[in-house]
A = this chain, B = another copy of it.
Amino acid sequence: MKPGLEESALLTALMAEYAMAIDDNRLEDWVELFDEACEYKVVTRENVEQGLPNVLMWCDNKNMLRDRVESYREVNLYNLHYDRHVLGPLRFLAKEGSTCTFEASYSLFQTELEGASRLFSVGKYRIEALIENGAARLKSVTVIADTGLVPSLLATPI
C-alpha cells in the first residue's frame, strides 16, 4: 500500500523542514522532527554494498540527538560554514498501519564564510515516518552517502 495525497504532502513537507532546519542552523528544530524512539545513522554506500558494519554517525534515540546538538552548540560558538540541501522528489515504498517508508536523493553543498560553495555530499535518505493525527514524525533516518565521508567532517547532520 502507498500513502495517499494528503500523506504524501505531509511527508514532503516533513523533508522540506528537515533540510531547511539543518540549513538554517535550527538544529534543535531538526531534533524535534523525530519521535522519542528513533534512530538516525549515516553510512556510506560502499559499506552498505560490501556488507560492512561501519557507521559514521549513529544515534538510537532522541536524547542522543539532543546531546549531539547540545555538544555541537558548546564547541562551535560560531557557524563555520553554511549547509544547503537540495532534495529530489520522494519515492514512496510502503505504508503499513501509520508507518510510511520512503527514499529521497539529496545533494548537500557547503559554503565557507568567505563565500565559496562546493559539493559536499550526495546520496539518499531511507526513512520511516509515523503519521498520527495529521502530523508526521521521523522514526528512522538512514543517510546512505555515495560520497566518501570522514567522520570528523560531520559536525552537522546530513
Given contacts A84-B105, A86-B122, A89-B87, contact A114 B148 (CB under 8 A): yes
Given contacts A115-B147, A117-B146, contact A123 B17 (CB under 8 A): no
CB distance from A23 to the nearest CB of B (A): 7
Q: Does chain B have a CB within 8 A of A61?
A: no
- Would you call A88 and B90 a contact (CB within 8 A)? no
Residues on the B chain within 8 Å of A19, using CB: 88, 105
Q: Does chain B have a CB within 8 A of A155?
A: no
Closest to A91 in B: B16
Given contacts A89-B87, A105-B19, A122-B84, contact A111 B146 (CB under 8 A): yes
